[in-house]
Amino acid sequence: MSFDIALSGIQAINEQLGTISNNIANAGTYGFKASRANFASQYAGTQAAGVQIGSVTQNISLNGGVVATGRGMDAAINGRGFFVTKDLQGQNNYTRVGIFDANTDGFLVDSAGRRVQGFSITPPATTLGPMGDLKVPTGQIAPVPSSELDYVSNLSADWKVPTVTFDPPDATPGAEKVPDPQSYNMSRVSVIYDSRGNQHTLTQYFIKKDTDTVTVTYALDGNADAGAADFDLKFDTKGQLVATTPPTPTVTTLTLSPLVWDEASSAFIANGTDAIELEIDYTGTTHAFGEATTSTNKANGYSAGSFIGVELAKDGSVVAKYSNDQRQAVGKLAVATFPDEGNLTPISDTSWLASNESGTPLYSTPGTGMAGSLSVAALEGSNVDITSELVGLMTSQRNYQANSKVLQTENAMMQALMQAL
């Protein structure tokens, strides 16, 4: 009987050594969860019959350290939850390894080629669609005409009223004319776009009219004949914009007609695009003594652009990047949480399946509900504690030697018995 007991101990220790060896070997594997071999007694009826490995459990709930990678398509979950992928059999797999990329078909996949699951977004809307495969549009995005311009500046109260009459600019070829610098106090240029994505320059000429009023005159592409009316900015004794007619003193709407020079008629004609309906908001502009400064000068709109890549955002958004410097969220990663993640069924050391014991997965987005937030350009490292594993390795070695000693002693006793007979 002692032979069998010692032999069962050696066999169980061999299995434990396999688990420890696997942990040590995967100490550098992203998203790896350390396993532990659990010993259990064996009985033959009421008689002790040795030992066996009763179960092997993974420490899934203990997160590994976050390792910065600098790659925009890597992500680590800070806290609970799993990335959701779908294998070739259409089954959802759950993993902590956030190594993603777009395949040749435009689908977002993980390092094993499984399609990543998430919530679709159709730009320009931001509403999340149904959960499913995430596909990154790889074509072009259409141009968007400018409709808003935010402009904030301090129009210096030190300015003097110009004594030279402002003469509007004229972009006629061969007779280009710009205003006399003595006829205005400051000019600023903004970049805007028409309905076909053509880029235009909008020049604002600021002319002090009296103590409390600054008039703004507009020119599109150096031509004052684009149809924009002048706008008066009126200020109170504290240098703040005040209500006039219309009641909103900080916003003006321009209707700009992009023009091109026609050689045949020797005149400017429409360039074949829609008129630009541009709302300029001067909220925050002041008229205080000191230097004239501009803090905000930004218009919306953009030209057409081609797809050049994809990256992840901290909120889990999948962001497509285009050649016109635009970024559009085209989806958001799904994160699954479970009532009992320790009972997930492992299919590899870094992937699991849901089970009856783990409970039904709850799908959400990163940082919402019980799901952890994301660290982008980083991956979760292994949760293996090398020191503990080496201590376990030495303990297993001593146990192995002890069981071997039992076999040697039993063998010696049997030999002595045989010699005595």
One DSSP character per residue, 150-177 reads EEEEE--TTPPPPSSPP---B--TTS-B
Give the model's pLDDT for residue 46. 66
Residue 225 bridge partners (DSSP): none
Q: Per the structure block, which two tokens stand in for 207?
A: 């002319």
Give the model's pLDDT for residue 194. 93
Q: CB neighbours of 230 closer than 8 A, spacing ≥ 6?
A: 215, 216, 217, 218
For the chain, 421 residues long, the average pLDDT of each consecutive 10-residue run is 70 84 91 88 72 83 92 95 95 96 92 95 89 90 94 96 92 86 96 94 95 93 81 92 66 86 82 90 93 95 92 94 92 96 90 94 94 95 91 83 75 73 62
* Pairing between β-strand 140-141 and β-strand 131-133 as defined by DSSP bridges: unpaired
Give the model's pLDDT for residue 61. 86
Cα distance between the two ends of the chain: 21
What CA dihedral angle connects 191, 193, 199 and 203, to 10 degrees?
Answer: -40
- What's the predicted TM-score (pTM) here? 0.74
Query: Where on the phi/psi map is residue 199: left (φ > 0), alpha (ψ -120 to 50), or beta?
Result: beta
Domains, the chain, in order of start with CATH, read 2-61+382-420 (no CATH), 66-141+307-380 (no CATH), 148-299 (2.60.98.20)
Give the model's pLDDT for residue 140. 87
Say how many C-beta atoms besides its own lie within 10 A of residue 224's C-beta.
20
The three-state DSSP-derived secondary structure of 262-329 is ECCCCEEEECCCCCEEEEEECCCCECCCCCCEEEEEEECCECCEEEEEEEECCCCEEEEEECCCCEEE
**Residue pointed to by tokens 């149809």:** 227
* Pairing between β-strand 148-154 and β-strand 276-281 as defined by DSSP bridges: parallel
Give the model's pLDDT for residue 10. 79
Give the model's pLDDT for residue 81. 95
Give the model's pLDDT for residue 16. 84
